């Protein structure tokens, strides 16, 4: 079975030893992703906008590699403040309301940068159509 590594180009990928996503056969695993670009956190203080940015990135990664949002079977959402579920949850619902993958939301004590409020990872299985 083939293995495809998908990079975001982030400088820390080779340092830490990870890929933005990995595809093996019909399965894609997307690594924990935050709303950052060029080492700068986007939308500080706005967990909903960070979520929207992350899930839009997932949509692009999926579609650029022969998958779609409909193929997502699992998401894991990490927030630094569980009260942010009220802004994060509805955005997740905008992307996945009809798809309804298995999902978990957890509060974590911190992410790499204090302005990062949300980190999300996902699993997709390519549908046979």
What is the domain-level CATH number for residue 118? 3.30.1330.40
- Counting the structural domains of the chain, the total is 1
User: How high is the pLDDT of residue 74?
Assistant: 98
Rounded to 5 degrees, what angle do the CA atoms 5, 6, 11 make? Answer: 105
Dist. CA 30–CA 20, nearest whole Å: 6
Q: What is the overall mean pLDDT for the chain?
A: 95
Range(s) of the domain holding residue 51? 3-125
User: How high is the pLDDT of residue 107?
Assistant: 98
Q: How far apart are the first and last CA of the chain?
A: 20
Q: Which DSSP category does 71 fall into?
A: G
Rounded to 5 degrees, what angle do the CA atoms 25, 26, 31 make? Answer: 90
The predicted-structure confidence for 68-87, as pLDDT tens digits, reads as follows 999 999 999 999 999 999 99
The predicted-structure confidence for 42-67, as pLDDT tens digits, reads as follows 999 999 999 999 999 999 999 999 99
List Cα–Cα distances, 114 to 29, 76, 83, 109, in angstroms: 25, 19, 16, 10
């Amino acid at each position: 079975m083939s293995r495809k590594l998908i990079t975001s180009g982030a400088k820390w990928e080779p340092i830490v030893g990870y890929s933005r996503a990995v595809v093996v056969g019909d399965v894609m695993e997307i690594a924990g992703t935050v709303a950052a670009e060029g080492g700068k956190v986007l939308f500080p203080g706005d967990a909903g906008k960070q979520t929207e940015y992350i899930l839009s990135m997932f949509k692009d990664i999926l579609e650029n590699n022969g998958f779609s949002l409909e193929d997502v079977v699992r998401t894991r959402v990490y927030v630094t403040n569980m009260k942010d579920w009220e802004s994060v949850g509805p955005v997740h619902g905008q992307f996945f309301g009809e798809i309804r993958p298995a999902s978990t939301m957890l509060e974590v004590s911190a992410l790499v940068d204090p302005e990062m409020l949300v980190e999300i990872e996902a699993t997709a299985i390519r549908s046979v159509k």
